[in-house]
A and B are shown apart, each in its own frame.
Chain A
């Protein structure tokens, strides 16, 4: 009798251990997987989206924003034909957090073998662009429908209490000057003219072409305090791969910090009023100066 109860106890402990162990195993695998799929940093979110970390917590993946974006009568090309909506819901294989809304102003690919064979795209079509930028609708249909608060309506509402799409900060346009043909001396202002905040988010800077000595450059300059990151400039860019493109603000901006103040600017002093001094200490090196200079250099 005693032996059997001993066996039962042993069995109970073993089963409990097994359950706990398997649960821990599952938890580790699950956490690891979830953490990996979270890491899709180069993604553009709808207007008013919370910072990515909070957005991923908050988004309930309902797709109401995408549905509001897609079903607009104003989604028309210039020739009146219907154009697709901006927002897409990430699906398996998109390498974004599955089920979350995002957009790509430019999404170029080569036609598939099937599309060529069916005659949808003739041989002279080298690449097709399926990206859609944000057209910055005045009534911002995508934000008020968000039930969870992942798209923050307050962030796109001005002091008068009106929705204001110009307050959106979806990303920031960045110019790669080596591939931008305006920097080659060619007169191109496609991005400048495509910008919905004309002459505010992108301005043209005049410079002398020192190479020829007698021509002018008209160079696009993006202003990060105005740019909404809509991507119309990227869409309009004429180069094979756009020389101006939108990156998430997190990746397209730096930060000077409190230990630099603008020269000859009294106002900027106020910015660092509450800054605290940081004291660091480096041990004095025992080495000779020559040793120090030759350190970490092996050829």
Chain B
């Protein structure tokens, strides 16, 4: 049970969010209405996705105050909580890519490490900027045209239609194509949250003394470049690409990892 504590908590929040969104349409609940693009919490508080908002602004359309306020609230929230907490605690695609990743490990598809020369983890930042440029040129929020995140979410709320194929495509890409391909390499929304949360308060802390270098954490981590300090130094994972998913804490048998508050005192190393 201890080994899946955060995993279960994450699945709980993800399913809870989708249930609330679903109920808003199906039963008229006024708890969480809308979609990730723009929502209303408790019938009053506006919420909006910062990257989506930015895309609409780039088309040249002056957005309503509700969306701008909503985007500010969400930005502030993840600025404090941990930027990519959205990715691992809210986003429904995370369940799809986690499943693909788990299957990859079970099927031992990663035995021969493949070097994807054209697909680096930095690609998502390029795509993020490109999405804004395309939004301006074409006059439509460009990522929203093909975003599997909102396609999946709207699919659950309003019905999938042919949109399910996008979700299946992401699953196949992550399973047989690139490891952590979508969330870790391509998703511009994740890139935006990486930047928003790069200075966030809640962080995973590593205790070098307790670590036995089993490297379990690096195996499960979807962004394992952020775990460069494992068995080297006792510092926090400060990289914005960390999704605060807590899988590393779950699998650690030595209590060498835990959530904590980011320390703003400069580390005394070196």
Contact = CB atoms under 8 A, between A and B. Distances in A.
Interface of A: 19, 22-23, 26-27, 30-31, 33-35, 37-38, 53-54, 56-58, 60-64, 66-67, 70-71, 88-89, 91-94, 97-99, 145-149
Contact of A26 (B27, B48, B130, B158): B130
A91 B130 contact: no
A99 to B, nearest CB: 6
Nearest to B122: A19
B70 to A, nearest CB: 7
Interface in B1-58: 24-25, 27-28, 33-35, 37-40, 46, 48, 52-53, 56
B231 interface: no
A57 B141 CA distance: 7
A275 to B, nearest CB: 30
B164 interface: yes
B126 interface: yes
B150 A99 contact: yes
A91 B150 CA distance: 11
Given A61-B35, A149-B64, 20 more contacts: A30-B131, A38-B138, A57-B56, A58-B59, A60-B37, A60-B141, A60-B144, A62-B38, A63-B158, A70-B28, A71-B25, A71-B28, A89-B157, A91-B158, A91-B161, A98-B145, A145-B40, A147-B40, A147-B66, A149-B61
Nearest to A71: B28
B137 interface: yes
A95 B40 CA distance: 28
Contact of A98 (B28, B33, B159, B163): B163
Contacts of B35: 61-63, 99
A53 B139 contact: yes
B155 interface: yes
B25 A63 contact: yes
Contacts of A64: 33-34, 38, 40
